[in-house]
Amino acid sequence: MVKIIKEGRFGPGEAVVLLGISSMARIFLSYPRLLVDTGGPAVWMMPLGGLAVALAGIYFMSLVLKKSPGSTIIEITEQAFGPFIGMAVNILVTFQILVVTGAVFIREFSEAMLTTTLRYAPISLIDAAFLAMGLLGAYLGVEALARTARLTYLYVLGGLSILIFSLIPFWNFHNMLPFFGKGPKEVFLMGTYSTAGIAEIIIAGVIVQAMGGAKIFAGIGYRAMLMGFGILFLSLTTLVLTYSWPVSEEFTLPFLRLARTIYLGRFFQRPEAIFILIWGIVGAIKIALLLYAAAVSLARSLKLPEYRPLIWPLGLAMFILSLLPLDMPSVIEVDAVYIRSAMLLPDYLLPLLILAVLWFKGRGARAGS
């Protein structure tokens, strides 16, 4: 199969950091509060089931990609379902979900900035600023995004480490009782459902050739999932240890509240300003990666030789969709009800369907021979 798009190349280390930073973007938004509302004091256990499912998703995606080592999930979908149905599946499942997810993240990061610092700025202006960063990153390509993530990840992880260690004096282990929180069903079943829907599995399937191919896909995916879910686990544990779960349910942006808890003396009275920079870095990488993956998916589906002309209309579509929710509670509801559920389709259902179809095709070919 002819490669129609040149994506550049980067190493496994850059790939792990890129996918890991992208997956940790949700901890800076209202997502931790939704998990606390579901699991209560046992919220720290909720990512464990999601991690197990995500690792299984990486395994099944690697099996799919090994069926055609020189292709991405886009081409393999068309090989399995045929050119017309495969193209429809790619456009409806992969492309549309990535575009809507990008629009939701643009709005959520904009609302976070509006709440923290730019309180009197119009939401459209902040949306446009995040979109501009996403457009620039997507235009430069996934290789540039991977190098940027590799250069900034020490700053991001260092800032998170400072946050966690600075809050140790505020920890109260009695906040973790009762041990199973609101019940095993909410903690494990709903926790798995709420944390397993991430965009990075399908994104990795789209950019697999730039990462080095199907042979090293599983290793990269496993480490990226461990990185992203590990940081989510530490963040939720720190939140429930610092504040009791009834108090944590009241925080719109729990990460911001944790940062404002830190007191380092009169000279360092507003340490959360440092972490707002981390939000900007992670948000820009997340939005740019979603926009890039959506553009490449559509270009590969339509057999176009270049993805960059698609960035501008897709960026405009993300911008318009991001302005549709009326307020912050509305966009949080869209994220919790639609995005987390919709992400399960390309992450887990699509690879399983492809494997089943390819197996039946192979069985039919063997029987015919």
What DSSP line would sit under 46-84, residue for residue?
HHHHHHHHHHHHHHHHHHHHHTSTTS-HHHHHHHHH-HH
Nearest CA to 44 out of 239, 184, 248, 252 is that of 239
Average pLDDT, the chain: 85
Contact 297, 206 (CB under 8 A): yes
Q: pLDDT band at 20, cuts 50/70/90?
A: very high
Q: From CA 67, how far away is CA 64, in angstroms rounded?
A: 5
> Would you state the pLDDT for residue 366?
55
Contact 112, 99 (CB under 8 A): no
> Would you state the pLDDT for residue 58?
94
Residue 111, both tokens: 């609302």
> Would you state the pLDDT for residue 2?
44
For 223-253, how does the pLDDT look when each residue is reduced to its tens digit (9 = 90+)? Answer: 999 999 999 999 999 988 888 777 777 777 8
For 111-140, how does the pLDDT look when each residue is reduced to its tens digit (9 = 90+)? Answer: 888 877 777 888 889 899 999 999 999 999
Q: From CA 291, how far away is CA 101, in angstroms rounded?
A: 9
Q: pLDDT band at 267, cuts 50/70/90?
A: low
Q: From CA 16, how far away is CA 149, in angstroms rounded?
A: 10
**More confident: 301 or 248:** 301
Q: From CA 256, how far away is CA 254, in angstroms rounded?
A: 5
Q: From CA 170, how far away is CA 55, in angstroms rounded?
A: 33
Residue 94 reports pLDDT greater than 80 = no
Amino acid at 91: I
Q: From CA 213, how far away is CA 218, in angstroms rounded?
A: 10
To the question of domain 12-356 being in CATH 1.20.1740.10, the answer is yes
* Structural domain boundaries in the chain: 12-356
Mean pLDDT along residues 184-192: 86
Contact 123, 111 (CB under 8 A): yes
> Would you state the pLDDT for residue 223?
94
Q: From CA 295, how far away is CA 288, in angstroms rounded?
A: 11
Residue 61 reports pLDDT greater than 80 = yes
Residue 202, both tokens: 């399908």
**More confident: 160 or 264:** 160
Residue 364 reports pLDDT greater than 90 = no
Q: What is the pTM of this model?
A: 0.91
Contact 61, 353 (CB under 8 A): no
Mean pLDDT along residues 144-155: 90
Mean pLDDT along residues 6-13: 82
Compute CA 272 distance to the chain's CA centroid, rounded to the nearest angstrom. Answer: 23
> Would you state the pLDDT for residue 265?
63
Q: pLDDT band at 55, cuts 50/70/90?
A: very high
